[in-house]
A and B are shown apart, each in its own frame.
Chain A
Amino acid sequence: MQSEQSHSKAGILFTSPYLIHLVVFFLYPVGFSLYLVFHRWDLMTDPEYVGLRNFTYLMSDHLFWQALTNTLYFLVIHIPLQIIVALALAIVLAKPLKGRVFFRATFFLPVVISGAAVTILWQRLYSTEVGLINYVLSLVGIDAVPWLTDPGIAMPAIAIMATWKNLGLYVVFFLAGILAIPQTVYEAAKMEGASSWHEFRYITLPLLKPTMFLVVVMSTLGGFNLFIEPYVMTGGGPLGSTMSVVLYMYKQAFSFQHMGYAATLGFALALIIMVCVFIQKKYLDSERYY
């Protein structure tokens, strides 16, 4: 009895700072964003009730839909690229190679560096005339690529950079996944005369499904959070091809002072993210691992 009471006391004491913080900096903002969705507000004058106008504007706002399409385009390039390269590196690094720790540490380096710094650096690497990347390409006879000034290439360019930035992390994920597969499974397969491709296709790949799910979800969240990359590199251009939803929201809020509409964008984005993750969970995170 004594202990039960002291538990309650300690529990309340220990959790109350968190709960108070949660109410003020999470629950209230969520509630207020719901309020803002139905209001027009320029920050300086009082909010004005506008009913569903923010929603109808959203539906017909082709800039928003373009930003969303851009994000999907980013994901379509980024996720497969990320998985293929990270998986390949992980398979190589899972072998008892000399210098494996060094390689892992090297590939991991950009993960710890701030996205802002990486973006500022890559903007220069991507320079059409004097960039390192085009120089290397010129060595193998490829003409200068207008990485950030061609509407069709700019988003893939950002996706490549994001892959470079996060690769190390996903290599570590896959590596952990591969090393967790018991050797006996492979031995059994060898006994039955499976080729290494068959081993990969029918043992490694299926057993890596949970890792795959993790990588897909994290890349998706990263893609929907794109902000500093287009902000620094392209400002959303050329022709709006790298405008991300968060950058568009920032612009609506702080360049145009449409706070109600920006909140609506945030609301829509949150909804889309949750739906995406739910779908991915449904298709990738099935329980049939073994």
Chain B
Amino acid sequence: MWIILLAILLYAEICVGATLVYWCATNPDEIELAKRLVKEWNHSHSETTIKLQPVPAGASSEEVLLAAIVAKTNPDIYSNMLPAMLNKFVKADTLLRLDGLKNFAKETEARIGATILKDYRSPDGHYHQWPWKLNPVMLVYNIDLFQKLNIKPPRTYDEFWTAAKKLTADTDGDGRVDRWAMSPSMTVMWWQRLYDFLPFYMAATNGRSLLNQGRADFNNVSAIAVMDFFQRGFARGYFPKSGTVSNLFAQQKVGMTIVGPWALKMFERSMAQKFNFKTIPIPVPDGHHGPAYTFGDPKSFVVFKNTQHPEAAWEFVKFMTSKKADKLLLDITGQIPVRKGLINDSYYKEVFVRRKNLIPFASQVPFTKPGDNSEHIVEILDFLGQQYEASAVYGTIPANKAIENAANHVEHIYKNW
């Protein structure tokens, strides 16, 4: 009896071939994209089946992924890897080295190009991630409101404050301010600083990162100026200090917001009244020279070392980042693939014609950085967040003190852990 059973099992095993588990991000747009591509793959690749699952819920996907690796319940492929976190996984020897795989050099040359690829290199000189998308964090403003109030789009802090002053107002005359300039987050979640402090810091410093060779590289005037910028905004009441700040931009309760391209669709969906908006680079300190860089909130594909089918996984990663897949990424999620010459490529032109508001983001890409890669990045950003809260939001310590504390803590972390 059981011989038959065994035979059936064996047969099934042969027929099914390899099955790979792939985790994608949890937002609805990305799930839709992944579903479509995986379906297509499974249709045309009978030898390797992909099982798609969004990252299981949790406080942050990084925490969930770590827990899964420890418990050995990790997927084969993961597409939401923050390069900042990569080093932690590389150090623990959990990721597959990609540069040893078939056609790695050829593939990179075709898609990414050697210069950009360097930003994604692991400290050991090898490559453990496949850059997927890079979404510049930029300033989006409400054109209609700006025109009505006769405000110039701000390029510098000075211009920003001029705009802020005009925007912040009590529009219904009840004696309380109900429209503000912008509503930066007040929360201390570590990743939040990737969307406020870091882009402004990169804009102020031509794309410098926070760390350099395991040392804090931000104890400088630019970082202090950025901290001071946020402190002023909160202190002068240009930024609302209230717990509920979701979607104020779509409700026209703030005139500006700092976001990546993924947010545009949400704005369009949740606008109570339709209005026009425009995207410009992050404002820079007065007297700044050169372009305004920004942080790119990059996400990469990685393959885990304990996969049974590394070659098949690599094939799938290439499929997910093919020319066609990149077009779907751009179209469905409004996110920008890491692909050289994207904006000038005639293949993608029709998407940009249809979705004009993606053009400023795509044009910003050459001045966009993927940020640091350190195994301590969560702890560093967490501490920076606490200093940001104390200095910018509550104004209990001066900006220079906050930056100094954060820089000292970086040394402390590297020394102790």
Q: Does A86 contact B (CB under 8 A)?
A: no
B59-77 residues with Cβ-Cβ distance < 8 A to A are 59-60, 63, 66-67, 69-70
Q: Does the CB pair A43–B63 fall under 8 Å?
A: no
- Which chain A residue shows the least CB distance to B67? A254
Q: Does A257 contact B (CB under 8 A)?
A: yes
Q: Does the CB pair A235–B390 fall under 8 Å?
A: no
Number of interface residues of B (CB under 8 A): 33
What are 18 of the A-B contact pairs (CB < 8 Å)? A43-B70, A44-B69, A45-B91, A45-B93, A57-B416, A127-B244, A128-B243, A130-B244, A149-B186, A151-B394, A237-B188, A238-B393, A251-B382, A254-B67, A255-B59, A255-B63, A257-B66, A257-B88
* Shortest beta-carbon distance from B333 to chain A in Å: 27
B373-397 residues with Cβ-Cβ distance < 8 A to A are 378-379, 382, 386, 389-390, 393-394, 396
Chain B 90-131: CB-based contact to A (< 8 A → 1; otherwise 0): 011110000000000000000000000000000000000000
Q: Does A210 contact B (CB under 8 A)?
A: no
Of A53, A148, A237, A239, which one neighbours B396 at CB under 8 angstroms?
A239
* Shortest beta-carbon distance from B226 to chain A in Å: 20
* Contact A255 B382, CB 8 Å, known A42-B92, A149-B243, A236-B188: yes
Number of interface residues of A (CB under 8 A): 26
Q: Does the CB pair A239–B70 fall under 8 Å?
A: no
**Residues on B close to A: CB < 8 A?**
59-60, 63, 66-67, 69-70, 88-89, 91-94, 186-190, 241-244, 378-379, 382, 386, 389-390, 393-394, 396, 416-417
Determine the distance from Cα of A36 to Cα of B209 in the docked complex, in whole angstroms: 34
* Shortest beta-carbon distance from A265 to chain B in Å: 14
Of B67, B189, B242, B379, which one neighbours A129 at CB under 8 angstroms?
B242
- Which chain B residue shows the least CB distance to A149? B243
Q: Does the CB pair B187–A237 fall under 8 Å?
A: yes
Given contacts A44-B92, A148-B243, A238-B394, 10 further A-B contacts (CB under 8 A): A44-B69, A44-B70, A44-B91, A127-B243, A129-B242, A130-B244, A237-B187, A237-B188, A237-B389, A239-B394
Q: Does the CB pair A149–B416 fall under 8 Å?
A: no
Determine the distance from Cα of A25 to Cα of B326 in the docked complex, in whole angstroms: 50
Determine the distance from Cα of A250 to Cα of B29 in the docked complex, in whole angstroms: 32
Determine the distance from Cα of A210 to Cα of B416 in the docked complex, in whole angstroms: 46
- Which chain B residue shows the least CB distance to A256? B379
Determine the distance from Cα of A130 to Cα of B378 in the docked complex, in whole angstroms: 34
Determine the distance from Cα of A100 to Cα of B292 in the docked complex, in whole angstroms: 70
Q: Does A165 contact B (CB under 8 A)?
A: no
